[in-house]
Structure 1
Amino acid sequence: MAVPVLMPDRPEIRLTEYESVLLEHIQLTRRDVERLGALQARKRLRLDQVAAGWRLTADATVGVLTLDRVRLVIEPKFAIPGEQLMNWLAYALDVPTPLETTARRWTTGSEGYADLVAAALLEQCEQLVREGLRRDYVRRQHLDTVLRGRLDITAQVSRRYGQLDHLHTRTFDREAEIWDNRVLSAALEVAQRYLANSELARRLHVLAEAFPPAPTRGAALHALDRIQYTRLNSRYRPAHTWARLLLRGGGFTDLLTDHGSTADGLLLAMPALWEAVVRRLAIEAAAPFGGNPVTAGSTPVTVHGDLGNASTFRPDVLLEFPGPASVARTLLPLDAKYKRYDRHGVSAADVHQLVTYCAGYTARGEQRAVIIHPAPGGHTQRVLHVDGTQGILGTLHVLGIDTHVSPQHGALWARSEIRWPQTDDIYPPVVRQGRPGLLRRLL
């Protein structure tokens, strides 16, 4: 099998989030326009035809997209610096962060995010090969000259007409050709198509030969959705997480789909990444105080009577805390905002949204909600008080998480800065002794 050949003659066009670039007519084929149009329909970028060609404007999306004649590289602009992106992505996916040596090896060049994800998959797959690939029982049918396994009498009679020179048999042996391994082969093959680093592509190609192949990319994705993890295959979970990211071409929202034709690339929706980060961060920060996530969809705020279907309001995270004796539970809604609220005020639309959460999920006297946004310059916090003629409508706690530090550090800071419901009753003794002033403070 030949080593995949990269295309150095394909020009690379680099831009950042929300930045625009002008492409000549000759740089985009008709198929490229269809692909970009599919992404525009999902509000991931914008493509406008102008006199000089095409104007491409990136949205809150980062990654690489290899088209027929150009290679687009979209880099993070403000929220999460490139050297920290893999740490926050691994935190959101709840998988081990790639080793520092691996990350450093692939950040020395200009390849960026796409090559880092491929390197993370490479690291996990190499570890599986070193430990030995998992084997499981696989049913197979054979035509052989000796009897091995069970004789398939129906096939023997209908196909051999009683002849015994060859035997149709069925076996049930432990083999490595199972979907746990096949999906990784498919991901390793896909990752090679858009890499700019030839050495990384070569290592992926060599490693892919150690895994049994998958018939198609779609079959591998279907198998990933059906895999159940037990103590026998739990070690495969990190590798499968990176594989799913690569096979879907874009992580949390399956960004790269264009109704049948595919482009080679890996695009990540930054708002979706931030929502996943906030979801895990909030759960970890609330756990010491008895907080547990609940499904907001089970009790959404619903609007009835309008034209069309009823609309609903659901926070990104809804935490439940033990209430006092007279109240069964206390709820705290949190929402992730991928905006620079450390530099400008909270928009009226977001204030209205959070006040709706206060009215729909919290009890009178406890109308509180939390906004969590990225703040690259350092942790920030402030409080918005929304008042009406009948009193306080809601208290909005606006927390900025410093994305230049580790996400675990951000979770610890949020734990100390938020006034959790019923804090005086449910703080564990260890927590109360730690930072009582901060823990009891109302932002």
Structure 2
Amino acid sequence: MPDRTPVRLGEYKSAPLEPDQLSPRDVDRLHALQARGCLTLTRERTGWRLKADATVGVLVLDRVRVVIAPKFAIPGEQLMSWLAYALGTPVPATARRWATGPDGYADLVAAALLEECERLLREGLRRDYVRRRSVEPVLRGRLDVAAQATRRYGQLDQLHVRTFDREADIWDNRVLGSALKAALGLASSPDLARLLYGAAGAFPQATTPAAALRALDRTHYTRLNTRYRPAHTWARLLLRGGGVTDLLTDHGTTADGLLLRMPALWEAVVRRLGTEAAGLHGGRSVPGGSGAGITVRGDLGSASTFRPDLLLSLPGHDKGHRTLLPVDAKYKRYDCHGVSAADVHQLLTYSGGYAPADAPTALIVHPQPGGHAQRTLQVRGPNGLLGTIHVLGVDTAATPEQATAWIGSVLLDHRARPGRRQQP
């Protein structure tokens, strides 16, 4: 791997680049990422300026290696723990402090994949029956009569055979070989790169990373391959360049990059926290935001539909009836400033569309470094109360169990307010 100049910056921070540090291909890639809202590249009189948005990770360019560290809400030592929690996978031993070296997020994810792959190698790779056609000096499996007659013209010195043997060259293992190869190109630690190279040699590989991703999307887990699920989770993260199904809104870079959108990560964290908190109080999450969601019709163009990040169905005051509580994840500093008017309007719409008519309530969950806080906004008009918005700040240095308890306290408060609208 050629030496690349390291460029380190923080989330929402910027760094200058010399004119010759970016190749034309790099400029095109950065502009593509800018179109996805990951970062901003601007031309200056003395060169370039690269600014990160709500994105962390590593981007390996032709001449520089950009490392974006989390600065806003989730501290570096907690990033891997919260990422594993959002993905529903065990927290890897690599969930260590970000500041221990220049390795950064990409090396941590690569090490998490390596840890799971080494475990699979110790346990023994899964094997399954694979059909193959080959030419052998002796008969194995079944003789391919048609091939033998048309290609060997009756000669028996070489036999065209069909075999059906148990092999490790199956998709469960191929996707891991492809992911290990992708991780090798991102790793900055020589020791980690050496271990990745050794592990990659023990796994078969897919023809292309795209083929491996298609195989991951088709994978169904049974008792035979359920032990592969954590390794496949980290493999999907690496092969998508940071994009994860049901986690990120974009697909990241096509190669040589591992960028994680922090707002999407926070939404995934809040969805799981809210679902677990509701389960402890007899509630559940409503898949898909309760049917068609809130729809706007009659405007120019096609109708628009929007839904809250999470919709919880909770037991109502009357036995056998339930109420709905819309929850929205906001990756914003609402511990430092007030809730914006746009977000107030959005949550009022959610509460009017889902919550009980006489007790319209919604919940905002935002990250709050250094502590936990809760406040309640009451929105009133000339005719009285329009809605109640709970604003909950979750300490990202706390454990998920503690955060679940904080959300549970809001749900208890919501259940204590009777409402006439009953929901299934």
1:213 equivalenced with 2:213 (yes/no): no
1:413 equivalenced with 2:419 (yes/no): no
Q: Following TM superposition, by how much is the alpha carbon of 1:343 offset from its aligned partner in structure 2, in angstroms?
A: 1.0
User: 2:41 corresponds to which residue?
Assistant: 47
For the residues of structure 1 that align with 2:320 and 2:299, how far apart are their CA atoms?
Answer: 33
Please tell me whether the aligned partners of residues 82 and 112 of structure 1 are also in contact (alpha carbons under 8 angstroms).
Answer: no
Superposition map of 1:278-317 within 5 A: 278-294=270-286, 295-296=288-289, 298-317=291-310
The AA in structure 2 aligned to 1:95 is T
Please tell me whether the aligned partners of residues 44 and 59 of structure 1 are also in contact (alpha carbons under 8 angstroms).
Answer: yes
Please tell me whether the aligned partners of residues 76 and 98 of structure 2 are also in contact (alpha carbons under 8 angstroms).
Answer: no
Deviations 1:222-257 (A, max 9, x none): 111111100110010000000000000013337565
The AA in structure 1 aligned to 2:302 is N
User: 2:365 corresponds to which residue?
Assistant: 372
Superposition map of 1:50-69 within 5 A: 50-69=44-63
Structure 2: gaps spanning 5 or more residues = 419-424
The AA in structure 1 aligned to 2:391 is V
For the residues of structure 2 that align with 1:361 and 1:90, how far apart are their CA atoms?
Answer: 31
Deviations 1:281-324 (A, max 9, x none): 00001102221111216131111111111112200001112445
Please tell me whether the aligned partners of residues 281 and 408 of structure 2 are also in contact (alpha carbons under 8 angstroms).
Answer: no
Q: Following TM superposition, by how much is the alpha carbon of 1:164 offset from its aligned partner in structure 2, in angstroms?
A: 2.1
1:140 equivalenced with 2:129 (yes/no): no
The AA in structure 1 aligned to 2:275 is I
The AA in structure 2 aligned to 1:310 is A
**2:342 aligned to 342, 349, 360, which one?**
349
Q: Following TM superposition, by how much is the alpha carbon of 1:21 offset from its aligned partner in structure 2, in angstroms?
A: 1.6
In structure 2, do the counterparts of structure 1 residues 104 and 305 end up closer, same or farther at CA, with 3 Å as the change threshold?
Answer: closer
**1:228 aligned to 206, 220, 223, which one?**
220
- CA RMSD for the aligned pairs? 1.9
Please tell me whether the aligned partners of residues 311 and 327 of structure 2 are also in contact (alpha carbons under 8 angstroms).
Answer: yes
Q: Following TM superposition, by how much is the alpha carbon of 1:422 offset from its aligned partner in structure 2, in angstroms?
A: 3.8
Please tell me whether the aligned partners of residues 278 and 285 of structure 2 are also in contact (alpha carbons under 8 angstroms).
Answer: no
Secondary structure at the residue paired with 1:192? helix
The AA in structure 2 aligned to 1:402 is D
Q: Which moved more, 1:232-241 or 1:50-59?
A: 50-59
Q: How many residues matched?
A: 414
Please tell me whether the aligned partners of residues 49 and 55 of structure 1 are also in contact (alpha carbons under 8 angstroms).
Answer: yes
For the residues of structure 1 that align with 2:413 and 2:163, how far apart are their CA atoms?
Answer: 59
In structure 2, do the counterparts of structure 1 residues 107 and 171 end up closer, same or farther at CA, with 3 Å as the change threshold?
Answer: farther
Please tell me whether the aligned partners of residues 135 and 175 of structure 1 are also in contact (alpha carbons under 8 angstroms).
Answer: yes
**1:188 aligned to 177, 180, 193, which one?**
180
**1:247 aligned to 239, 242, 246, which one?**
239
For the residues of structure 2 that align with 1:162 and 1:96, how far apart are their CA atoms?
Answer: 58
1:396 equivalenced with 2:389 (yes/no): yes
The AA in structure 2 aligned to 1:72 is V
The AA in structure 2 aligned to 1:13 is V
Percent of matched pairs sharing the same residue: 64
User: 1:80 corresponds to which residue?
Assistant: 74
Please tell me whether the aligned partners of residues 106 and 115 of structure 1 are also in contact (alpha carbons under 8 angstroms).
Answer: no
Deviations 1:113-154 (A, max 9, x none): 111111111111111111111111111111112211112222
For the residues of structure 2 that align with 1:338 and 1:95, how far apart are their CA atoms?
Answer: 22
Q: Which moved more, 1:275-284 or 1:386-395?
A: 386-395
Q: Following TM superposition, by how much is the alpha carbon of 1:407 offset from its aligned partner in structure 2, in angstroms?
A: 2.0
The AA in structure 2 aligned to 1:316 is D
Superposition map of 1:150-169 within 5 A: 150-169=142-161
1:121 equivalenced with 2:113 (yes/no): yes
For the residues of structure 2 that align with 1:108 and 1:76, how far apart are their CA atoms?
Answer: 14
The AA in structure 1 aligned to 2:112 is A
In structure 2, do the counterparts of structure 1 residues 165 and 138 end up closer, same or farther at CA, with 3 Å as the change threshold?
Answer: same
The AA in structure 2 aligned to 1:208 is A
User: 1:432 corresponds to which residue?
Assistant: none
Please tell me whether the aligned partners of residues 87 and 407 of structure 1 are also in contact (alpha carbons under 8 angstroms).
Answer: no
Deviations 1:335-380 (A, max 9, x none): 0000010111000000000000011111212211100000011111
Secondary structure at the residue paired with 2:390? strand
Structure 1: gaps spanning 5 or more residues = 1-5, 426-443
TM-score w.r.t. structure 1 length?
0.89
Please tell me whether the aligned partners of residues 103 and 119 of structure 1 are also in contact (alpha carbons under 8 angstroms).
Answer: no
The AA in structure 1 aligned to 2:361 is R
Secondary structure at the residue paired with 1:378? coil
